[in-house]
């Protein structure tokens, strides 16, 4: 079953975040992931529980692969750049 990683991030340093994007993309692809949305325009329809700011949506073959990608030493190193340049919330949800 496919799994989707959803990241909401508020950019504090957009220039530094560009470095993260360049380094993260090949790692996502190495783990069989693909970007479905990457910071496009948002239309907020309901915000009772959450008010997202910038959404990144990735699809992985399954949740185990998504979690292994996230926990991999290679990604954890690149993630440091993101955490220096943005505040984030990240979830993995199983889907179709």
pTM to 2 decimal places: 0.94
Q: Where do we find the tokens 């993995």?
A: 92
Strand order, beta sheet including 55-60: 34-38, 55-60, 3-11, 86-94
Can you give the residue ranges of every domain in the chain?
A: 3-39+54-94
Q: Specify the fold of 3-39+54-94.
A: Alpha-Beta Plaits (3.30.70)
| Orientation angle between helical segments 73-85 and 14-30, nearest 10 degrees | 160
pLDDT tens, position by position, 35-57: 999 999 999 999 999 999 999 99
Res. 77 pLDDT band, cuts 50 70 90: very high
């Amino acid at each position: 079953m496919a799994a989707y990683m959803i990241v909401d991030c508020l950019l504090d340093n957009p220039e530094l975040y560009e470095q993260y994007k360049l380094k993260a993309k090949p790692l996502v692809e190495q783990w069989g992931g693909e970007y479905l949305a990457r910071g496009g325009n948002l239309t907020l329809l309901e915000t009772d529980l959450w008010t997202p700011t910038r959404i990144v949506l990735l699809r992985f073959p399954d949740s185990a692969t998504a979690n292994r990608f996230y926990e991999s030493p290679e990604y954890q190193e690149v993630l440091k750049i993101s955490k220096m340049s943005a505040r984030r919330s990240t979830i993995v949800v199983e889907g179709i």
